[in-house]
Amino acid sequence: MERTLTILKPDCVRKQLIGAVIDKIERAGFRVVAMKKTKLTAQTAGEFYAVHSQRPFYGELVEFMSSGPCVPMILEKENAVADFRTLIGATDPAEAAEGTIRNLFADSKGENIIHGSDSAENAQIEAGFFFSTEEAVRVNN
């Protein structure tokens, strides 16, 4: 079993798509291991996306990610990291494959509904950013 970290971004929450997106995620075989609703500050959003700090869109990204509440989740499935990237689709929704979450629900490259970790190593780091060990205990079923 592998874990990945997702965030239903502020645009997802504003558009009242939390349930629709989680439905897609669960139907694709992912288990929700941890979940909360929280609001990032410019400081914490900047830390989460520190890897992009030299990119031209960083300021816009930090502003967007701290613009309202978001819903981070730890998800578990075999091959979770790669399978979740497939499920959400390309960063730019205009390029995202038919039926992917970004293709169905996202408006733009900057406001693209959802985050997915890009490696198992980063998934672990990102999970620790939002959740304690006690919050990330899987239900055995």
**From ligand DAT, Mg ion, none, interface partner of 57 (C-beta below 5 to 8 A by class):** ligand DAT
Beta carbon nearer to ligand DAT, 34 or 111:
111
Of 27, 10, 100, 141, the closest CA to residue 64 belongs to: 10
**What sign does the dihedral 9-89-52-109 (CA atoms) show?**
negative
Query: Closest approach of Cβ 8 to ligand DAT, in Å?
Result: 12
Residue 86 labelled as part of a binding site: no
Contacts with ligand DAT by CB under 6 A: the residue count is: 9
Beta carbon nearer to Mg ion, 116 or 140:
116
Class of residue 129 by CB neighbours under 10 A (exposed 0-12, middle 13-18, buried 19+): middle
Query: Closest approach of Cβ 137 to Mg ion, in Å?
Result: 26
- Is 82 near ligand DAT (CB under 6 A)? no
- Is 61 near ligand DAT (CB under 6 A)? yes
Distance of CA 24 to the CA centre of its chain: 13
Of 71, 66, 73, the closest CA to residue 43 belongs to: 66
Query: Closest approach of Cβ 110 to ligand DAT, in Å?
Result: 4
Q: DSSP secondary-structure letter at 94?
A: G
Binding interface with Mg ion (CB under 5 A):
118
